Structure 1
Amino acid sequence: MLRTLAAQSDAFPLARPFRISRGVKTVADVVTVEIGHDGLTGRGEGVPYPRYGESIAGALAAIEAARGAIAAGATREDLAEIMPAGAARNAVDCALWDLEAKTSGQSVTDRLGRPPLGATPTAITVGLDDPAAMGAAARALARVPLIKIKVDRSDPETQIRTVRNAAPAPRVIVDPNESWTFAEVERLQPLLAELRIDLLEQPLPADDDDALAGFAPLVPIAADESAHVAGDVGALAEKYQVVNIKLDKTGGLTGALALADAAAAAGLGVMTGSMISSSLSIAPALIIAARSAFVDLDGPLWLANDRPGGVEHGTGVLTPPARGFWGTV
């Protein structure tokens, strides 16, 4: 089998800045992969994340290093031996899933024995800002099903309370992006319970989360930066109640399915997340979202312009992309 392989970087300007405790993003830089065979083309997207030592140049180099094997017919299972888990492998893995759907005439969900994707409620993010601006952003989201609040150490009590007061109805995820200490996790438990917060996401640095072992939180805690692949689950089960699955960490949909299975076997809940990305990243993530208690796939909603045919959004609910966009025929 001989395939063609094309990989390039694409930049999607954001409609407004996206702020978290680690910094501000104004452009979504992604890697786009296209794999062709017999006149058909499969597409995939990855978002290299500096937090994990990734870059656009590094991802493109990793794909180029695997070019010979991919062109010669490497399978998705082969990729685990050829490329490390991460954004580069995610782009290739998802392109192969898409190509398989097109060459087989069966959608990815059909091949997995699952029903077609439907409307998916997603968290809408309130970015880190001064509390008044966060409250204004939250008021505009008062009718969505789920809000995610980005916070830091400066004044999380005011940040969280302001958003909750502005939007009393939605479920809420609080995400400090590794910026808290364990003392702060303990101290803020009563506030999180009082304000009916549904999930606390990765409050501690991934390299310093052992303090969570045996801790009984009032609000479930999700592993994000601490959780990458299925092999991590054994170490996570003592510390967390939920695992946030992102295809850019697992190395694609293949790894994400394995992580979801491992989390379920360990009694952990599942969340689906994404980086700030186009709908080409979100389409395969919707398959994991279908089995998740929490979904955070609002990345394309931050873009000034998404890829044509991508997800549609209405009041916190995503509609799957147009047929043929990814994974469908």
Structure 2
Amino acid sequence: MEVRAGRVALRLSTVFRSAGFAYDSTDTCVVTVVHDGVTSWGEGTPAWAHGETVEEVIAAVEAQGREVLGSDLSDPGRVLDRVAEWAAPVGARMALDGAVHDWIGRSAGVPTWQLLGVPRTFVKPTGYTIGIGSVAQSLTAVAAAPPVGAYKMKVRGAEDIDRLVAVRAVTNLPIRIDANEAWDFETARDLTPRLRGLDIQLVEQPFPRETVDAYLRYRKVPGRLPVFLDEGCTDVASVHAARGLADGVVVKLAKSGGVHATRRVIDAARQVGLSVMLSCNCESELALSQAALLAPLADEIDIDSQFLLRDPPFRGLGLDRGRIVLGDAPGLGVVATESGRLASGARSGPAGS
């Protein structure tokens, strides 16, 4: 068993802005696992919202990754249980979990989604995220967007109403908004009638995660928007805490630690009656293909960071009438581009292609 970890830079086509940050590139970790003559890859995004760094993710994989995986991947369920229980940064667990799922398919010579009985094409269309900007910039983003099934717009407050009005005037697609914890209760209460008039579908994480009272008060506002928790929901315990505060949760591999652990979060959400949106951070098509294995379990899909990248390190995902189409290569269905191979140290021979 050989386990390697490397840093890969993901560069965006433009600066992306939300209520709390702005960036035009980010780093992720790509893990390479070589076992029984088969090379597989997995991507792990640092849980930056909780202070993780890519250096910590890489260090954890290099120090303990081989021990956690063990000497044999022939019982992947048991291996994935060990990965999910590993006391390591979320990004490290996500990367190893992804590499195991990739190895399962590559060792069999077929796409992993096929082995797991996952449809190649998503049933639900994906959304596309528009960062904070001017009205003109928002309209330009809509005009340049791929043919998706919904838009998610990052917002701050009342100053973004003009952007929402402008975008609603040019599309009949569902519009979701994401406040990234920027609102207080009064902002939500005052904006709700205007947002309802624009047929806004839902709002993600309107209030800071610790302001429980704001969530409870907003539930009593007549005609309120459905609320989905993102930053406020990371694991099974926080799903149970979300009951009574929200209508749904946003699940991401980069919050829960991979496919195996995120499946547990989805199951917990179903048990307490919460809807599920499958989403992502800024990730390559390798990580997005990991997340795609859970697509049939989600009510809403928000897998879109591949559309924001220039010179992507992996390719394989397609788009058909707004729906993501999984790659047909063995394993997770993606192949490394030249930039991906050079950055991660991945082998380009038969075992790694």
Q: Could you say whether these structures have the same fold, taking a TM-score greater than 0.5 normalized by the shorter chain as the test? A: yes
Query: Which residue among 210, 220, 224 is the counterpart of 1:218?
Result: 224
Residue in structure 1 matched with residue 70 of structure 2 by the alignment: 72
1:263 and 2:269 matched: yes
CA contact (8 A) 1:79 1:93 kept: yes
Deviations along 1:247-281, one digit per CA (max 9) or x if unpaired, are 01010000111111111111110101101111001
1:158 and 2:162 matched: yes
Residue in structure 1 matched with residue 50 of structure 2 by the alignment: 52
Q: Distance between the aligned counterparts of 2:300 and 2:151, measured in 1? A: 11
Structure 1: 4+ residue segments shifted above 4 A = 104-107, 139-143
* Percent sequence identity over aligned pairs: 28
After TM superposition, give the deviation of residue 77 of structure 1 in Å. 0.6
Distance 1:153 1:102, change over 3 A: same
After TM superposition, give the deviation of residue 315 of structure 1 in Å. 5.8
CA contact (8 A) 2:168 2:198 kept: yes
Residue in structure 2 matched with residue 319 of structure 1 by the alignment: 325
CA contact (8 A) 1:46 1:248 kept: yes
Matches within 5 A, 1:30-109: 30-70=28-68, 72-73=70-71, 75-84=79-88, 86-104=90-108, 107-109=111-113
Q: Distance between the aligned counterparts of 2:321 and 2:27, measured in 1? A: 26
After TM superposition, give the deviation of residue 144 of structure 1 in Å. 3.5
Deviations along 1:13-38, one digit per CA (max 9) or x if unpaired, are 11111111122111131100111211
CA contact (8 A) 2:284 2:314 kept: no
**Per the alignment, in what secondary structure is the counterpart of residue 16 of structure 1?**
strand
Query: Which residue among 244, 249, 255 is the counterpart of 2:250?
Result: 244
Residue in structure 2 matched with residue 235 of structure 1 by the alignment: 241
Residue in structure 2 matched with residue 138 of structure 1 by the alignment: 142
Query: Which residue among 156, 180, 196 is the counterpart of 1:193?
Result: 196
Distance 1:67 1:145, change over 3 A: closer
CA contact (8 A) 1:172 1:198 kept: yes
Pairs aligned (count): 325
CA contact (8 A) 1:32 1:91 kept: yes
**Per the alignment, in what secondary structure is the counterpart of residue 210 of structure 2?**
helix
Distance 1:279 1:303, change over 3 A: same
After TM superposition, give the deviation of residue 139 of structure 1 in Å. 4.2
Q: CA RMSD in A?
A: 2.4
After TM superposition, give the deviation of residue 49 of structure 1 in Å. 3.6
Deviations along 1:203-259, one digit per CA (max 9) or x if unpaired, are 111222442136146221101001111222110011010110100101000011111
Aligned AA for 1:307?
P
Distance 1:162 1:252, change over 3 A: same
Aligned AA for 1:55?
T
**Per the alignment, in what secondary structure is the counterpart of residue 54 of structure 1?**
coil
Q: Distance between the aligned counterparts of 2:255 and 2:214, measured in 1? A: 23
Distance 1:308 1:56, change over 3 A: closer
Q: Distance between the aligned counterparts of 1:304 and 1:325, measured in 2? A: 24
After TM superposition, give the deviation of residue 188 of structure 1 in Å. 1.4
1:208 and 2:211 matched: yes
Residue in structure 2 matched with residue 272 of structure 1 by the alignment: 278
* Between 274-283 and 307-316, the greater mean CA deviation after superposition: 307-316
Residue segments in structure 1 that go unaligned for 5+ positions in a row: none
**Per the alignment, in what secondary structure is the counterpart of residue 12 of structure 1?**
strand
Residue in structure 2 matched with residue 122 of structure 1 by the alignment: 126
